[in-house]
Amino acid sequence: MKQIPVLLVLGFALSLCNLTNKLKTSTNSNEPGKSSSRSSDNGNVEHATPTAAQTEALAGGQTVKWDQQGMSWTVPPKWTESSNDSKMLLWRSPGGSEAANLIVNISAMDESFPTDISIKAFYDQAKTRAKNGEVDEVKWLEIDGLKGVEFREANPEQPDGIRRLQWMAYRKYAGQVQLVNLMLSSNGKGFTKHQDEMYGVMYSTKIVH
């Protein structure tokens, strides 16, 4: 069961590679490696502000530090670490097949990678998925001063299908241009039960950029 979240990330990474390979051939008129948080033409941006229920869901929680990437979160008290290396972090709640997962993946890009074009492409892709009924929430979201794209997948047709809440952003860190891919997930049956704590965890993100 511990391998399932990792397999989900690997599957997403393959699709991500297809998009980023296309973007590498694009011409970027902006400053190389420029963070999307500095763009002014990407529409309204919401700030990560948890509701009372989302804050309460993390009461008595613990601080998760990913020192290798200068990031941290608050997670509920019974969550446990499943994986922690230089490019991927995985924490998981109790609950067996209905458990919630925090999966954070870092992808290093070339210094000249067109981050503004790429993040807009992720946003447009999510909007297209929303039109197709695959996503039920899409927005520009700023977390700890870094602007990214947040989207939530619609409830899966099967109760054991995976549903994801995701935030993606670019930053410069440790001399690299990086894509930060933060995903919280559960199966369709467990998502509603864990929804407040998953949003709470996402909004608690502290990130050096």
Q: Render each residue's pLDDT in the chain as its tens digit; 209 residues.
A: 444 444 444 444 434 444 444 444 443 333 333 333 344 345 699 999 999 999 999 999 999 999 999 999 999 999 999 999 999 999 999 999 999 999 999 999 999 999 999 999 999 999 999 999 999 999 999 999 999 999 999 999 998 999 999 999 999 999 999 999 999 999 999 999 999 999 999 999 999 99
Centre a 10 Å sphere on the Cβ of residue 174 and count the other Cβ atoms it contains. Answer: 10
Q: Tell me, rounded to whole angstroms, the distance of Cα 12 from its chain centroid.
A: 12
Nearest one of 193, 199, 134, 190 to 166, comparing CA atoms:
199
Handedness of CA 136, 149, 106, 65 (dihedral sign): negative
Task: List the alpha helices (DSSP H) in the chain.
Answer: 3-23, 52-56, 115-131, 188-203
- Domains of the chain are 3-207 (3.40.1000.10)
